[in-house]
Amino acid sequence: MLVLILSVVVLLVIGGCVCVFWAARGDAPRWARGVARATLLGSELARSSNRNSRSRQNGGDDASSVGND
């Protein structure tokens, strides 16, 4: 069951990446541009949550990670 869920998640991620690439080319239909926008938004949310968790682990001082991104 877990393998099935992970497979679906991987397929959704791959589909989102394909839609981002397709939309970047400029000839994607409206639904693909929407999927691309949602994929990019999810990516930004994941990146910001990762940054927040790293800053909490560092005691709130994020100066040590400046320039490491």
What pLDDT shows up at residue 50? Answer: 80
At residue 32 the predicted structure's pLDDT band, cuts being 50, 70 and 90, is: very high
What pLDDT shows up at residue 49? Answer: 87
**In sequence order, what DSSP letters do the residues of 17-40 get, joined into one string?**
HHHHHHHHHT---HHHHHHHHHHH
Cα dist. 25→4, 12, 32 in Å?
32, 20, 12
- Please report where in the chains the tokens 């400046």 appear, as a residue: 66
Question: Residue 45 pLDDT > 90, yes or no?
Answer: yes
